[in-house]
Amino acid sequence: VPGHQPRHLQGFAFRSATMRLDATVLRFLEDDHFRVMTAIEQGMKNHELVPTPLIERIANLRCGGTRKILGILCKYKLVVHESAVYDGFKLVYLGYDYLALHTFLKRKTIASLGSQIGKGKESDCYVCCDDDGNKRILKLHRLGRTSFQNVTNKRDYFHAKGKRRGASWLYLSKLSAQKEYEYMTNLFEQDFPVPTPIDQNRHAVLMSIAPGYTLANIIKCEHPEKVYESCLDIVIRLARHGKIHCDMNEFNLMVDDDEKVTLIDFPQMIATNHRNAPTYFQRDVQCLHDYFAKKYGILYNFQ
């Protein structure tokens, strides 16, 4: 029914004019639609393309209708249908986004979704709010983009014992989000200057808004030496706590009006017992050195 909004989505605000993730379709989806998408997600653990009969068995809808729902999901571009080898379906990132949003809605950690505020080589970030109007950041991991398809060779947790080989990019994005949330939670509990972790589901991480602006977008710091020392202090504290950030640059450091620094972006972090930890630690320090030397003429001797 046009304009109908399922009970579990009543009160949810949708905005789509300025973002790639079009959440307006959520208002037309019922529990059975999510049940079918979840069935495809489960089937993709062992199938690149999930056969239609398997989807029907996993979904196990009371009155049938799985094939009709699959047609609707294809219409909204939440799943893809292929029949070259055999008839089957697979989730795409938009469908995975909807499954994560649906979970956050049921957990009441998200009440409204705003516009996209950032796009990186491996993630998209959106503003959202809870029931009390508190703004939060929703980060959606999107591994597999052309510029980042060698990720499986760079991230050690993709090769950990028990992880599926030949897994889809959706599954790898889920692993990336899980690791980022775990590291962020651990750092937050140890009083590091990081966003507050709020929730995580599938490839999505929900966190507080980091105050300030990225260091790369700040035209000029009033006290660049102070900011530089704060950044170095974070690198050293991380190492003392057994962690290396591995991507310490001006795009992953937020600086507020009081020149306090907040660290963001954690899926690439490693432990100090990693075989390449010294190299990554030196690279983090060198990145900071190069940035502040080039922009502010600050030179430190680390010998």
Query: Which residues does the annotation mark as catalytic?
Result: 247
Type of residue at 226: K
Contacts of 60 (CB under 8 A, 6+ apart): none
The answer to whether residues 251 and 216 touch, using CB atoms and an 8 Å cutoff, is yes
In contact, 138 and 40? CB cutoff 8 Å:
no
Contact between residue 48 and residue 54 where contact means Cβ atoms under 8 Å apart: no
Report d(CA 23, CA 162) in Å as an integer.
34
Burial tier of 35 (Cβ tally within 10 Å: 0-12, 13-18, 19+): middle
CA torsion through residues 180, 251, 209, 259, sign: positive
The Cα–Cα gap between 133 and 265 comes to 24
Strand order in the sheet with 88-91: 50-51, 88-91, 79-82
Phi, psi of 243 (to 5 degrees): -135, 145
